[in-house]
Amino acid sequence: MKIDYQTLEKKIKINFKNKDLLIKSLTHKSFNSEQNYEKIEFLGDRVLGLVMAKKLLEIYPDEKEGILDKKFATLVNKKTCLQIAKKLDLQKYILTLSSINKKVLIEDKVLSDSCEALIGAVYLDKGFQTTEKMILDLWSSHIKDSVITQIDAKTKLQELSLKKFKRLPIYKLISNTGPRHKPLFKVSVKLVDTKFFTSEGNSKKEAEQNAAILCLKNLKKI
């Protein structure tokens, strides 16, 4: 199956000098155990973080560090990278052992990791300024959303639970997976009269926050 990488290049407005870098950034280890995206993803994750940290400081020069940290986490987490990956239809370009079978769905983690690897590949091929411009273009709507201060869902859920049941929400760590440089936490939360709501994050704190948001949305409080 021939993959049309030119269409992807048009979407991100990048013309790679080294096409092998582009292909490598979209190659899963199941397809090639040596030439795959894992190390480039490691780089892309750092480049994305640098671009977002720089942009947030430009937008919010007087904001408190704690608020900036929350905004930053929202912009660089797996969920946002997955949304960007789907926006770019990255599943059409990723090479996996089973990629010849169009019916096989590529896991969300592979999609979000490939998004970061693509960033790393652009950085290696074009340098920081071009990569920064691409990231800011792709993340523009998410950056705009960050203007609204993120609701501290854990605090809101705690207040709601104490008021209604005089008991704190129950949080449960389900799993802690992923590589050391990029862990993935899965956390569940419930109130006295609800089921468990489960979400993920790159830190336990972020996963708890996301689980609380999910619980509140279900309760129609957000």
CB 55 within 8 A of CB 136: yes
User: Among candidates 174, 169, 164, 162, which has minimal Cα distance to 195?
Assistant: 169
Does 45 qualify as catalytic in the annotation? yes
Which one, of 200, 190, 202, lies nearest residue 157 by Cα?
A: 190
CA distances for 144 relative to 131, 148, 150, 195, 210, angstroms:
19, 8, 12, 33, 20
Catalytic residue, chosen from 41, 45, 125, 208, is 45
User: Catalytic site residue 108?
Assistant: no
| Residue among 124, 102, 121 at smallest CA distance from 113 | 121
Catalytic residue among 41, 113, 116, 132: 116
**Phi–psi pair at 178, nearest 5 degrees:** 90, 165
Which residues on adjacent β-strands are paired with residue 176? 185
Q: CA–CA separation, 185 vs 137, rounded Å?
A: 29
Separation CA 185–CA 218 (nearest Å): 21
Catalytic residues: 45, 116
